Structure 1
C-alpha cells in the first residue's frame, strides 16, 4: 500500500513503441501545436487591437481562445517530451498539475460556451434591449465566473485526489487523468465521488441546461420571426453551434473510454479518442470563427496584409 504523498512518479501505460515513427509523430504534434498557438494568438490580438470588436460577443471569444491556448499548453509540450522518451513516467507533482490544467480547461470551455449562448439569446430574442441587458459589468461578471468557478472546483478535486491512499502508480493513459487516479485508491472514495458529482453538476450540467434553454428560445424566435432575424441567427449561431457539437463529441468520447471496456478498440484509436477534446477544439474554434465571422475575417486579412507589406518595405529599405 502506498500513500500518494510517497509516490514519486506515475507510469503512463498507454504509450507503445513506435520505433522510428516517433520522430514523425513528434513533427506532426509539434506542427499542430504551433498552428494552434499561432491561430489563437492571432485572433486574440485582432480582437484586442481593434476597438470595433470590443463587443460582448468578441470578448467572450477572447476568453475562449485564451482557454484554448491554456489547454493546449497543458498537454502538448508534455506529449512532445513523452513521444521522444523511452520511459513514460511523470512526477506525482506534475501529474496533479496536469490534471488541474486539463480539468479547468474543460470546465472553462463549458461555462464559456454557455455564456456565449446566453449572449446570442439576448442579441436575437431582445435586439432592442441587448445593450441594456448585456452591459459591460455583466460581461466582466460572466467572464470572471467562467474562469474562477472551474479553477476553485478543480483545485478542490485535485487536492482530494492528492490526499488519497493509492495501491499503484500505473495510469492507462497518455496523460494524467483524475478518474484513473481515483481508480488506484486503496480505500473508499465516496467523498471524492460525491464532490465530483456536485462539481460536475455546476460546471457541466448547469451550463448545458443554459445552452439548451437559450437555443430553444432562439429557435422559437427564428420560426416566428422575420427572414432578417433568421439570417442573423444563422450567421452568429452557426460557429457557436459547431463548436458546441465538436466539444460535446470530444467529451462523449472521453466518458465512453473512461467508463467502458475499450480493450477491443485498437490502441492508436483509443489514444486519438482520449485526446480529441484537447486537440481538435483548439484547432476547430479559430478556424470556425475566423472563417465564418466576417468582422474577424476582414480584420485578420488586414493585419496579415499590413505585416507582410511592412516586412517587404523594411527589406527594400535595407
Structure 2
C-alpha cells in the first residue's frame, strides 16, 4: 500500500504544463533575480524618446497641430505666401538702404535695423511652423525649443528697442533741429543700436538658462511655437523666482520703451502745436512717414501670430 502511494506522489510532482527541471530552476531563483527580470521588461517607445538617461524630458509635443485636420494645408499655403512677401519686402529695404548713399541717415539706418530684425525673427517662426503643418510627428527637441523661444522673444525685445530709438530720433529732429546733427551722430547711433540690441539678449539669455535648469513634468505644448512661459508651466518645481525675473524682463524690454515712445510723440505734438504752420506740416509729414513704415512692419509681424496662435 505504501509503494502505491509513493508512486502516485512521484507521478503528481511535476506541475501541469511544465517539466520538473524548469520548475526547479524557477524555484531556485532568488527574489532579487525576479526583480531584475521584472525591471528589465521593455519600455514603451514613446517613453524612450521623451526621456534621457537621467529621466529628463528631451522632446516637446505641439498639440494644436492635431486639431487642424485638412485646414493645415490652407494655413501652409497662406503662411508660405506671407513668409515670401515678408522676405521680399525686407530684402528690398535692406538693399535700398545699403546701396543708396543718400539713405545713409539715422532714420533710414533704423528702418534697415527693423528689416534685419524682421528677417531674424520670422526665420525662427515660419520655417518651423510650415514644416510642422506638413508633418505627422509634431515634436521638437529640448534644445531646439529653447533656441526658438529665445530668438522669438529677443526679436520682440529688439523691435521695441528700435522703435524707441526711432522715437528718440524724431523727437530730437523736431524739438531741436539745429542740434540734431551734433546729438545724433553716426558713432552715437551705432553705440545706441549695439546697447539696445545687447541688453535684451543678456536679459533673455539669463531667463533661458534659468528655464533650462527646471525639471519638466510634462512635454505637451498647447502652442504652435515654443513659448518660454508655457515651458515654465510644465516644470515640476516652484517657479516664483523665474516668474519675477520674467516680469522684470517684460518691464525693461517692453513697458519702458513703450512709455518712452508715447512720451516722445506727445512732446512732438506739443512742439508742433506751438510752431508755425510750415514747420508743423513738415513735422507731421515726417511723423506720418515713420508711422506708415511702423504700421506696415507691425502688420507683417503680427499676422503670423494672429493666424497660427
With structure 2 as the length reference, what TM-score do the two structures score? 0.76
Residue-by-residue CA offset, 1:282-313 (whole Å, 9 max, x unaligned): xxxxxxxxxxxxxxxxxxxxxxxxxxxxxxxx
Distance 1:210 1:5, change over 3 A: farther
Q: Distance in 2 between matches of 1:193 and 1:26?
A: 34
Q: Distance in 2 between matches of 1:275 and 1:19?
A: 14
SS at structure 2 position matched to 1:166: coil
Task: State whether residues 71 and 101 of structure 1, in contact with CA within 8 Å, keep that contact through their aligned partners in structure 2.
Answer: yes
Equivalent position to 1:44, from 91, 94, 116: 94
Offset at residue 17 of structure 1 (A)? 4.4
Tell me the equivalent position of 1:273.
Answer: 306
Aligned: 1:83 with 2:116: no
Offset at residue 23 of structure 1 (A)? 3.1
Question: Which stretch shows the higher mean deviation, 98-107 or 229-238?
Answer: 229-238
Unaligned runs of 5+ residues in structure 1 are 254-268, 277-318
Q: Distance in 2 between matches of 1:84 and 1:51?
A: 44
Offset at residue 8 of structure 1 (A)? 1.2
Equivalent position to 1:13, from 53, 63, 75: 63
- Equivalent residues in 2 for 1:53-72 (5 A)? 53-72=103-122
With structure 1 as the length reference, what TM-score do the two structures score? 0.74
Superposed CA RMSD in Å reads: 2.7
Q: Distance in 1 between matches of 2:294 and 2:88?
A: 22
Task: State whether residues 95 and 176 of structure 1, in contact with CA within 8 Å, keep that contact through their aligned partners in structure 2.
Answer: yes
Unaligned runs of 5+ residues in structure 2 are 1-50
Q: Distance in 1 between matches of 2:66 and 2:104?
A: 47
Task: State whether residues 146 and 226 of structure 2, in contact with CA within 8 Å, keep that contact through their aligned partners in structure 1.
Answer: yes
Aligned: 1:92 with 2:142: yes
Distance 1:145 1:48, change over 3 A: same
Q: Distance in 2 between matches of 1:244 and 1:5?
A: 47
Offset at residue 275 of structure 1 (A)? 4.9
Equivalent position to 1:192, from 229, 239, 242: 242
Tell me the equivalent position of 2:24.
Answer: none
Residue-by-residue CA offset, 1:107-151 (whole Å, 9 max, x unaligned): 000010000000000111111111011111210111101211111
Tell me the equivalent position of 1:294.
Answer: none
Tell me the equivalent position of 1:310.
Answer: none
Tell me the equivalent position of 2:217.
Answer: 167
Q: Distance in 2 between matches of 1:206 and 1:138?
A: 21
Offset at residue 209 of structure 1 (A)? 1.8
Offset at residue 227 of structure 1 (A)? 1.8
Distance 1:94 1:117, change over 3 A: same
Greater Rg by CA = 2
- Equivalent residues in 2 for 1:241-280 (5 A)? 241=291, 273=306, 275=308
Q: Distance in 1 between matches of 2:208 and 2:238?
A: 17
- Equivalent residues in 2 for 1:75-154 (5 A)? 75-154=125-204
SS at structure 2 position matched to 1:188: coil
Q: Distance in 2 between matches of 1:249 and 1:164?
A: 35
Aligned positions, number: 258
Distance 1:249 1:206, change over 3 A: farther
Task: State whether residues 60 and 142 of structure 2, in contact with CA within 8 Å, keep that contact through their aligned partners in structure 1.
Answer: yes
Task: State whether residues 165 and 186 of structure 1, in contact with CA within 8 Å, keep that contact through their aligned partners in structure 2.
Answer: yes
Q: Distance in 1 between matches of 2:107 and 2:199?
A: 21
